[in-house]
């Protein structure tokens, strides 16, 4: 699928993009390139940029980083996160047994699912300095509601990238979760992280570098997929979100 998404055969890529737009009702009027013929290949279309002003950035300390739908939102209790009804998983599993897991024994989280029709670039939800990043190999289960309700520890089993940021709220973890077909993700500071796929966890330390981001600045993108999970430390700012709520990049996440 990774190779197919990069085929430049004009007839094939145009036919597939046209089918995709009609099947998933993609709104191309807000994209920089409105014509499917202007895209080099399917992945170029899938990771399309939006026109300036297509998303209003709220005057809020924390904004939504993506377009999508809220899968779950709530408190982190005893280092446990709700995945779906009768399904929980641990922060430690999600973060690949990183020592920083201890920072999130309490706090709150939001899990946001990106459907195929959504805008697949990811933006910073707050201002922060990049501390480190971990690539954690894993499965590529679908991450829709059906699998979330039936696959134990889904988000802690799928391939993922964990980014740690130092913010005014304290240490925050931002998790990009891969999904069915391709778990390919990339960030603006590293480029494409996967493939090549690895069998072991890889750690990247940026603590001695000055990599800082403003709120709403582009962070990276999904090359197919998926889901983002935000882990926040315990403090007064709480997410004003509801399960199944449709969200758009730039809207306020706070009450």
What whole-number distance in Å separates Cα of residue 65 and Cα of residue 71? 14
Per annotation, catalytic residue among 71, 90, 101, 226: 226
DSSP string across 199-213: SS-EEEE-TTS--EE
What single-letter DSSP state applies at residue 102?
A: G
Structure tokens at 222: 């999904």
What single-letter DSSP state applies at residue 241?
A: -
- 59 given a catalytic annotation: no
Residue 162, strand partner residues: 134, 175
- 67 given a catalytic annotation: yes
**Helix, strand, or coil here: 157?**
helix
- 123 given a catalytic annotation: yes
Spatial neighbors of 215 by CB under 8 A, at least 6 apart, are 57, 63, 124, 125, 126, 127
44-60: b (≥16 Cβ within 10 Å) or e: bbbbbeeeeebbeebeb
What single-letter DSSP state applies at residue 196?
A: S
Per annotation, catalytic residue among 98, 123, 134, 184: 123
Range list of H helices, 51-210: 91-94, 145-150, 154-157
* DSSP H or E run through 45: helix 42-46
Per annotation, catalytic residue among 67, 90, 134, 184: 67
The residues that are catalytic are: 67, 123, 226
């Amino acid at each position: 699928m990774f190779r197919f998404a990069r085929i430049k055969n004009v007839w094939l890529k145009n036919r597939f993009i046209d089918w995709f737009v009609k099947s998933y009702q993609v709104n191309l009027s807000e994209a920089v390139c409105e014509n499917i013929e202007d895209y080099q290949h399917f992945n170029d279309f899938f990771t399309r940029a939006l026109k300036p002003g297509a998303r209003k950035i709220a005057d809020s300390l924390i904004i939504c980083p993506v377009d999508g739908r809220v899968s779950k939102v709530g408190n982190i209790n005893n280092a446990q996160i709700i995945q779906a009804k009768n399904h929980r998983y641990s922060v430690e599993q999600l973060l690949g047994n990183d020592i920083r897991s201890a920072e999130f024994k309490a706090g709150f989280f939001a899990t946001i699912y990106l459907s195929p029709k959504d805008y697949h670039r990811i933006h910073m939800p707050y201002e922060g300095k990049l501390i480190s990043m971990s690539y954690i190999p894993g499965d590529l289960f679908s991450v829709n509601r059906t699998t979330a309700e039936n696959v134990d520890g889904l988000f802690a089993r799928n391939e993922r990238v964990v980014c740690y940021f130092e913010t005014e709220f304290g240490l925050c973890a931002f998790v990009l979760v891969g999904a069915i077909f391709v778990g390919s993700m990339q960030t603006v500071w590293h480029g494409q992280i996967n493939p090549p796929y690895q069998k072991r966890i890889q750690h990247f330390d940026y603590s001695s570098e000055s990599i800082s981001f403003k709120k709403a600045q582009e962070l990276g993108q999904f090359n197919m997929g998926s889901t983002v999970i935000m882990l926040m430390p315990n403090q007064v700012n709480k997410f004003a979100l509801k399960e199944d709520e449709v969200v758009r990049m730039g809207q306020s996440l706070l009450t």
